[in-house]
Amino acid sequence: MKVNLSKIANNKKITPIEEQVLEYIINNIDSVMDLGIRGGAAENYTSKSTIMRI
């Protein structure tokens, strides 16, 4: 599902990977708290710092 992230990102420029991570968080809101930063990074094949930046 494609999500309109303009309200979440406050019209800031976000990279494609940041957009992917935000969509992942929104689509998996019930489980992301259990995953934590490391788990979220692993699930999205990105770094922990990308998750923190978002």
Domain map (residue ranges) of the chain: 16-53
- In the chain the first and final C-alpha atoms are separated, in Å, by 20
Dihedral (CA of 14, 15, 20, 22) sign? negative
The position carrying tokens 């019209």 is 11
Q: Using the CB atoms, write b or e for 7-16: b if 16+ within 10 Å.
A: eeeeeeebee
What's the pLDDT score for residue 2? 66
pLDDT by residue for the chain (54 residues), tens only, comes to: 666 776 777 777 888 899 899 989 989 988 998 999 999 999 999 999 999 988
Query: Could you give the CA distance from residue 54 to residue 19 in angstroms, rounded to a whole number?
Result: 9
